[in-house]
Amino acid sequence: MRKSILAVSLGILVIFLPTVVKAADVTYSVSQSIGAAGSVTGSITTDGSTGVLGTSNIVDWNLVLNDGTNPTFTLAGSSNSEEEVIGSDLTATATQLLFNYSGSDEGWFLLESLTIGDLGPFVCWEASTACSTAVAGASLATQDGEADIVYTALSGEGVIGTASAAPTPEPESLFLLGTGLIGLAGMGWRRFAS
């Protein structure tokens, strides 16, 4: 009987483990000044992964770009823009979205309308000069074309955004925890009853 309880517990673990391993999405609030009068405000949502992030880890974004001169522009997720992460400079913790402006692989994190490379309105965090053609740091443009770029030179690791609260456990995680505790209690009861 003990073997069947163990087998059922392991079967449940195998079925639900892939669901539990995926972390809940994390939304980071962004509020940065760029250039003399520019700013980027709004939010960026990741899949909850921590450590080095890639393009596939960026789930959504809603950012208002303001270069201080032209009308503001909103990058609203994949509905009007694309994302690109190159290198290993974009990282995340449970509470912060970070970028290493001094990264040795000269990476960048770019959100651009409509498609990457068409010189549409964009915001870019970079350890190279790929986006702004100026210096490593943060840059943005609210109009099409290279002439509208404003930027701030930055070095070291900087905070792009901050999560408002630590993610809460997903229902699947709580279900697995409960199932495990019930299984352990059942095994203990069996030993006690024997």
pTM, two decimals, is 0.73
Same domain, 98 and 132: yes
User: Could you tell me if 31 and 48 lie in one domain?
Assistant: yes
| Same-domain pairing of 83 and 71 | yes
Task: Say whether both 33 and 70 belong to one domain.
Answer: yes
pLDDT value of residue 12: 55
Q: Are residues 92 and 137 in the same domain?
A: yes
d(C-alpha 98, C-alpha 49), whole Å: 13
**114/35 same-domain check:** yes
In this prediction, residue 162 carries a pLDDT of 97
pLDDT tens-digit map of 134-186: 678 888 888 776 667 888 888 899 999 999 765 555 555 666 666 666 776 66
Please check whether residues 99 and 176 belong to one and the same domain. no
Are 60 and 143 in a shared domain? yes
| 67 & 35 share domain | yes
Task: Report the domain count for the chain.
Answer: 2
4, 49, 87, 135, 186 from 11: Cα distances, Å:
10, 26, 39, 54, 16
Q: Please check whether residues 52 and 100 belong to one and the same domain.
A: yes
CA–CA distance, 132 with 147 (Å, rounded to integer):
10
What was the pLDDT predicted at 19?
46
pLDDT of residue 20: 46
Question: Domain span at residue 153?
Answer: 26-163
| Residues lower than pLDDT 50 in the chain | 19-20
